[in-house]
Amino acid sequence: MQNEVGGEIADALGVLLRRATRAQLYKTLTAGMGEALDELTYPVLSAVARIGPRSAADLASEVGLDRSGVTRRASRLEQAGLLRREPDPLDRRATLLVLTEHGERAVDELRRRLAAHITASLTAWPPDEAQAFARGLRRFITEGPFT
Amino acid sequence: MQNEVGGEIADALGVLLRRATRAQLYKTLTAGMGEALDELTYPVLSAVARIGPRSAADLASEVGLDRSGVTRRASRLEQAGLLRREPDPLDRRATLLVLTEHGERAVDELRRRLAAHITASLTAWPPDEAQAFARGLRRFITEGPFT
DNA sequence: ACATGATGCGTGCGCGGCGCACGGTAGTCT
DNA sequence: AGACTACCGTGCGCCGCGCACGCATCATGT
């Protein structure tokens, strides 16, 4: 029955969501990268790196948060020199959040560490199966239940 | 390069984790199932349903939380009649968290709704691809980076 | 038997992040 | 020009979390 696939995904996602929010992993992975970069601020930084400079309001929907939350997280990143606020040339009310040079290096480095950490646990997987999983995951993001 | 697979998974997981924590979905899915069952308490209930009666301490590692957090969430579920505390016959210090009849029905119903919601967004997927994704996800849980 | 340390639970406390609402500023439209 | 809308940042109250404490129970050694 096709519906049971949805049930399996629901169960697995439930476990995954809970386990992945344990802050310990970020604690170790961000060693020596400054205090501002943690499991709360990284999604903001990563989103800017992924979709480019945006306003806090636009990022809010992206990271599933209120505008105020994005603003505060961005302020911490700004104070650490990873992010800078830049007035939108098209709309002087808006302020765009832009990665600094330092921020780009930081997000690259942390992404590399995350990738290495994930890859290390996938050594037993056949490469084509791992790629199929990654492809399925990406598709699940774009056209799955969380759009 | 194999490492890029890890990077893709890292990115997709980052997005997924952020989007899935939006409480709106649970708000709609738990309609008419009582106030106690929400995105905070369901992981506890689901874990008990999955691995059977356990102490709060054991569940803590399962849901990635402190023992006190599990205790509080369990108290809400207990007050709603979905869960009951039962003295461990082997160790009278410990109290096991056990699903009530009502709790079993609730977790079944919510799981069914979640599965239906996920399945509905997978209609465009070829069935074998969806099954492969579910299988990969389960494997990713058991032997992935979050063990 | 009994004292002692270890382990279990539940709870009070302080911290911190979140959403909401407000004021201030800048666009927009008539 | 003036009214109306849209956007940002911030103060406020709420709530969940982890930590640490007290109490109860088990395990162990004398």
Write the pLDDT tens digit of every residue in A64-115.
899 999 999 999 999 999 999 999 888 888 999 999 999 999 999 999 999 9
Euclidean distance between CA atoms B27 and B39, whole angstroms: 8
Q: What's this model's pTM, rounded to 2 decimal places?
A: 0.89
How confident is the model over B16-47, as pLDDT tens digits?
988 888 777 888 899 889 889 999 999 999 99
Mean pLDDT of B130-142: 93
How many independent structural domains does chain A possess?
A: 1
Q: What CATH number does residue B13 fall under? A: 1.10.10.10
Look at residue A146 in the predicted model and tell me its pLDDT.
83
H/E stretch holding A96 reads strand A95-99
Q: Which two tokens stand for residue B32?
A: 């008419």
Q: Which nucleotide is nearest to B43 (CA to C1')?
A: D16
Q: Is B18 on the interface with A (CB under 8 A)?
A: yes
Considering any atom of strand C, list protein residues whose CB lies within 7 Å: A 40, 65-69, 72-73, 91-93; B 55-58, 67-68, 71-72, 74-75, 85, 91, 93-95
- Domain span including residue B115: 2-143
Please, which pLDDT band fits residue B109 given cuts at 50, 70 and 90? very high
Cβ of A68 near strand D (under 7 Å)? The reply is yes
**Cβ proximity of A119 and B141 under 8 Å:** no
At a CB cut-off of 8 Å and minimum separation 6, what does A14 contact?
B42, B43, B46
